[in-house]
Structure 1
Amino acid sequence: MNGVSTRKYKEIIPEMADTVGVSKSQISREFVAASEAEFKRLCERRFDDANILVIYIDGIQFGDCHVIAALGVDSDGQKHVLGIREGSSENSRVTTDLLNDLVERGIKADRLRLFVIDGSKALRCAIDSVFGHKNPVQRCRIHKVRNVLSYLAKDQQQPVQASMKAAFSLDAKKGQQKLQKLVEWLDREYPSAAASLREGLTEMFTINRLGLPLELHRCLGSTNVIESPNSGIRRWTCRVKRWRDHSMVVRWVAASLLEMENKFRRIMGYQHLWILETKLNELAEKSGIAKDEQVA
């Protein structure tokens, strides 16, 4: 229509771009401004009216920059990006700051919630410090299986993995007994694998101990719910060849998470979340937390 051959469009587009102010540097400035706005929006979001039952926390790494993210699930099974912080989940100050920020923005500490985390000791301590030690914590089973298998000979990995998965499907008492026997067996030839399995063993069965239906175990037994968005972030940022600084990483993570949030689906088994809410309320009553403090 404008006398430009389709064979020559690659040559003419750069010239056109310069005439309308869409140079590479201009696009870069526009994206910096847009991503800063998204990060600000994420940091200022409030959750006073959200009935958050579950909080997942996990980390993602870009080069030498670590970012931890918190994702919440409400009573309808909807996922909410709660917040992010630059730093490692092994850093107690970073994890505590992240959780304190959630409290300030409406995720109050006056009720019980289920936390799903990896094996970070700093994060576990931060939960106790900010939200109280009575909140149930579920350790990610997938992380645990990977850690244990990493210490084993290849021919031992499949049977150990099968034993662990079988134990997770049992009630808490029987499941822990089964894994304790596995620990004793591993101690003979694979002491590092045994130590890994022994660490945090009780919290591997938190959802079993709460008596939650199997339909919820897949989503509540691991941090996959938040690892999936983390994979999405890597797809969004795969073309970035060089991270200029850590603030760039944080801005990209914030913008990516908020964009993906629009496409989040409800968690599997969300129809049974009322059972989790009931169990949390019962646990709160037994723990001496006032019932009127359970209102979201």
Structure 2
Amino acid sequence: MKTVPSNVQIVAQDQAVGVGGLPEEVSLALADIAGVVGEGLLAMSVAAGMAVMQAMFEAEVTAVTGPKGRHNPERVAVRHGTGKGSVTLGGRRVEVSRPRARTVDGHEVPLDRYAQFAADDLLGQVVLERMLAGVATRRHARIAEPLGTDVLEGARSTGRSAVSRRFVKETETALAELLSRDLSEQDIKVLMLDGEHMAGRCVIVALAITADGRKLPVGLWDGATENKTVVRSMLADLVSRGLSAENGLLVVIDGAKALRAAVNEVFAGLAVVQRCTLHKRRNVGDHLPDKEKAWVDAKLVKAFNHPDPEQGLRHAKHLAGLLDQPHPGAANSLREGLEEMFTVARMGIDGRLAKTLVTSNPVESMISIARTTNRNVTRWRDGHMVLRWTAAGMLNAERSFRRIKGHKQMPQLVSALHRHAHPETAAATDTVGAAA
């Protein structure tokens, strides 16, 4: 059993000077810490941290000016009292007293330690995290950490306007980061495109998948509708930032004709298109009465999952023929882009990777996370606000990304895309194999 030393004393703040033979500054700091014990462990920790921070400020000034009270004719700077300052702490700006120093010819000496503690970056990140988690601007002050009464008396930057300004700044940064990503160093093999309707606008979103199966948000474009001009502009922007289809590219789309036309125009014959089978099933089902949906969908699933893509295509065409008379709308919807439902299968991709690539689920999942982040928005001011929020949500989703299911099969896809983009190479390889 440990014995408490007999010389340990607990004192009130007004008795702190000279306790136990400690220097006055240390005694006062200890008294400040002891004074907030009743407010909880976090408040006590904050008080200790603030005391250490002030000691760091003092140490830096001493390093520049020399010890207080000792005259040095060769010194290059002198103490210049203290000034009001503020540091970032617990999602707030907290007032502090900062020592100052000036050169002998009267110029202010910048203090690195204070600059580090006073930086706004961390506060902006805290605001962004809370807003994306659904915390309303008016509630930031209520959910902030309890730092102690003395610290909170001068705290600021938790009002609605201050929080809103910081969030706008952080989302501007997120949007700029997303729209300026250098893609030239990324070996992108799959591009998934989807449109998200928000606040009366259509935002086109792009998600890339690299040769090793990593997912990357790469594009975001605003338009009134999901038309070819808007999609073409976004694709051209991706190309200008380094996206290349030189060795083949698989583009997965939800079936919108505007997306397909833009892909043809920008990538010519280098890109192959896979239509989302899930969207096709939904679209066909929307043209059917409820009692017919189940059996039609079951036949579609069987056709799309057939191990032989040509046989699966024949089954799907046969189903369209069955629907011609009773439900012509469903038949026409099924036939539209039907060949491109089997692109991945025709390249010889199966298993888990095929299940990943025949739908636009990865990009829709990212959009879903982005949509969750803006659930508290009650008024969209303009298109730029829509882009800011969506970009922040996409980058927030990226933090939880893992490699796609079936990523170990990606070399198989890379080879198939290369053969598509360079058919002469594939033909030469076949000739050599036949000769051998």
TM over 0.5, yes or no?
A: yes
**Range with greater deviation from structure 2 (254-263 or 187-196):** 254-263
Question: How many Å separate the matches in 2 of 1:17 and 1:65?
Answer: 44
Question: How many Å separate the matches in 2 of 1:129 and 1:173?
Answer: 27
The TM-score, its normalising length taken from structure 2, stands at 0.62
Matches within 5 A, 1:127-276: 127-170=263-306, 171-276=308-413
Cα RMSD (Å) of the superposition?
Answer: 2.4
The one-letter code of the counterpart of 2:366 is P
Aligned to 2:421: 284
The one-letter code of the counterpart of 2:186 is A
Question: How many Å separate the matches in 2 of 1:119 and 1:77?
Answer: 23
Gaps of 5+ in 2: 1-35, 40-138, 144-148, 429-436
Question: How many Å separate the matches in 2 of 1:2 and 1:188?
Answer: 81
Q: Say whether the 8 Å CA contact 2:186–2:210 is kept in structure 1.
A: yes
Question: How many Å separate the matches in 1 of 2:381 and 2:414?
Answer: 44
Aligned to 1:294: none
Structure 1 residues 18 and 157: CA distance shift in structure 2, 3 A: farther
Aligned to 1:26: 162
Q: Say whether the 8 Å CA contact 2:228–2:259 is kept in structure 1.
A: yes
Q: Say whether the 8 Å CA contact 2:280–2:334 is kept in structure 1.
A: yes
CA-CA distance at 1:60 after TM superposition: 1.1
Asked if residue 45 in structure 1 is aligned to residue 220 in structure 2, the reply is no
Asked if residue 73 in structure 1 is aligned to residue 190 in structure 2, the reply is no
The structure with more radius of gyration: 2
CA-CA distance at 1:214 after TM superposition: 2.2
The count of corresponding residues between Structure 1 and Structure 2 is 285
Gaps of 5+ in 1: 5-9, 292-296
Aligned to 1:7: none
Question: How many Å separate the matches in 2 of 1:89 and 1:215?
Answer: 34
CA-CA distance at 1:18 after TM superposition: 8.6
CA-CA distance at 1:255 after TM superposition: 1.0
Question: How many Å separate the matches in 2 of 1:98 and 1:199?
Answer: 24
Aligned to 2:253: 117
CA-CA distance at 1:2 after TM superposition: 8.9
Question: Over residues 109-159 of structure 1, what are the superposed CA-to-partner deviations in whole Å (9 max), with x where a residue is unaligned?
Answer: 423100000111111111111111342100001110000001111111111
Matches within 5 A, 1:95-106: 95-106=231-242
**Range with greater deviation from structure 2 (108-117 or 153-162):** 108-117
Question: Over residues 74-127 of structure 1, what are the superposed CA-to-partner deviations in whole Å (9 max), with x where a residue is unaligned?
Answer: 111100111100126631111011000111111024231000001111111111
Q: Say whether the 8 Å CA contact 1:68–1:88 is kept in structure 2.
A: no
Identity fraction in percent: 37
Q: Say whether the 8 Å CA contact 1:118–1:143 is kept in structure 2.
A: yes
SS at match of 1:83: strand
Question: How many Å separate the matches in 1 of 2:142 and 2:339?
Answer: 61
SS at match of 2:344: helix
CA-CA distance at 1:249 after TM superposition: 0.8
Aligned to 2:84: none
Aligned to 2:104: none
Q: Say whether the 8 Å CA contact 1:52–1:73 is kept in structure 2.
A: yes
SS at match of 2:337: coil
Q: Say whether the 8 Å CA contact 1:145–1:164 is kept in structure 2.
A: yes
Structure 1 residues 13 and 114: CA distance shift in structure 2, 3 A: closer
Question: Over residues 233-287 of structure 1, what are the superposed CA-to-partner deviations in whole Å (9 max), with x where a residue is unaligned?
Answer: 1111111111121111100111111122121011110100110001111112216
CA-CA distance at 1:195 after TM superposition: 0.3
Question: How many Å separate the matches in 2 of 1:13 and 1:167?
Answer: 56
Q: Say whether the 8 Å CA contact 1:80–1:261 is kept in structure 2.
A: yes
Question: How many Å separate the matches in 2 of 1:167 and 1:148?
Answer: 14
Structure 1 residues 162 and 81: CA distance shift in structure 2, 3 A: same
The TM-score, its normalising length taken from structure 1, stands at 0.90
Q: Say whether the 8 Å CA contact 2:250–2:274 is kept in structure 1.
A: yes
Q: Which has the higher contact order (CA 8 A, sep 6+)?
A: 1
Question: How many Å separate the matches in 2 of 1:222 and 1:3?
Answer: 58
Aligned to 2:100: none
Question: How many Å separate the matches in 2 of 1:252 and 1:77?
Answer: 26
The one-letter code of the counterpart of 1:209 is R
Question: How many Å separate the matches in 2 of 1:13 and 1:120?
Answer: 46
